Structure 1
Amino acid sequence: MKFRYVDRCIALAVVAFLPVVALASSFEVTPTVLAELEKQSKVLAAWAADPVVVAAVKEQNAKGPIAGMDNAKWKAVRRSDPTVQALVGSAAGQLLRGQEKFDVPMRTGKAWQMTRPWFDESLQGYALQVAVPVMDGGKAIGVLVASVPVTYLERVAKK
């Protein structure tokens, strides 16, 4: 049976994706990686404490949820989406974009780290997430989440 062009493209995509899946499944969170994630959590906490970020969270909280936005849509939304562009163009978005690129925080007021890699569409690669609360007057009012690429963590672990 002959493969059609589409079948060959699908087969090629699956074969190309296999090393990426192997990378994620073989990634181990070592003490060195945990130390780096803790370091990144501290950087993220400093960003979350910035008055520009706190003001942006308070402003959005006053407006309420973004209509029609849920976790599934956030994962699928493209960078070119008007909602994303509005957030990126805001004062807080500009502040965070200028930084070096590196649900528990709301409830506990403490930083949280993911320990299993997931495919991050925005990075086009596997990453671990780090999340810290955005605090106002000792109360968690939001969460700042960042993805740390697995490739970066592997380089840190090899040093």
Structure 2
Amino acid sequence: MLLFFPFPLYLDAAGCSDRHDPVRAADVTPKMQPKIDTYKKQAAMWAMDPVIVKAVKESNAKGPIPMLGNAKWRELKESDPIVKGLVDNPAGQRLTKWMNADPKGINKIVLSGDKSHRVAFTSMPAIYIGKGKPNFDESFSGKMWQQGESKPDPSTNIESVQISAPVKNGNDVIGVLLVSLTAANLQ
């Protein structure tokens, strides 16, 4: 029997599929890596910025916004006061300034606190709580993280390679800074 699917079918190693979205990924090439490495150094420096560290410390003291999980987050619009507050706060303004200084290279920056909740960002990310995602978990363990392939960013839909850096207060990791790099600029 021959089956036809009206969408691309993606199978894992076991031949199972739990998705039918047309996400395409492309490997990071050796030509792209030097540019990514430069951005990783920049992200590590940004993660030490006093405005960024202060914002994370203050947000961690308050904790995530009560009753706001990923399901409720997806119901919010960019114009919602909660979302606007995370773009317009001092850390959000700093992130936007950095992104706007390199509009071809960077398409989004997101700052998260110790509970993986959003502290500030340049545009609304797809989720509010990032725990369980490698971009948060790896950097919160104290490591720089890099996505192994380029693929559409879940909130901007721009073909991107994400990197993230730990935000530290002294030697303690208190948050994560994620930078979404535009793949076309890395070629």
Same fold (TM over 0.5): yes
Single out whichever of 77-86 and 133-142 deviates more from structure 2.
Answer: 77-86
Q: What 5-or-longer segments of structure 2 have no aligned partner?
A: 1-5, 8-21, 107-136
Structure 1 stretches of 4+ with a deviation exceeding 6 A read none
Q: TM-score, normalised by structure 1?
A: 0.71
Give 2:153's match in structure 1, choosing from 104, 110, 120.
120
Give 1:106's match in structure 2, choosing from 129, 140, 152.
140
Name the CA distance, whole Å, in 2 between partners of 1:70 and 1:90: 21
On the 8 A contact 1:133/1:140 being kept in 2, the answer is yes
Q: What 5-or-longer segments of structure 1 have no aligned partner?
A: 1-10, 15-20
Single out whichever of 62-71 and 137-146 deviates more from structure 2.
Answer: 62-71
Q: Which of the pair is proportionally richer in strand?
A: 2
Q: TM-score, normalised by structure 2?
A: 0.62
Aligned residues: 133
SS of equivalent residue, structure 1 residue 49: coil
Give 2:164's match in structure 1, choosing from 114, 131, 134.
131
Name the CA distance, whole Å, in 2 between partners of 1:125 and 1:49: 27
1:40 counterpart residue number: 39
Q: Which of the pair is proportionally richer in helix?
A: 1
1:47 positional shift: 1.2
Q: Amino acid of the residue matched to residue 104 of structure 1?
A: E
Identity of aligned residues (%): 39
RMSD between superposed Cα atoms in Å: 2.5
On the 8 A contact 1:75/1:121 being kept in 2, the answer is no
Q: Who wins on radius of gyration, i.e. which is larger?
A: 1
1:46 positional shift: 1.4
Name the CA distance, whole Å, in 1 between partners of 2:85 and 2:144: 26
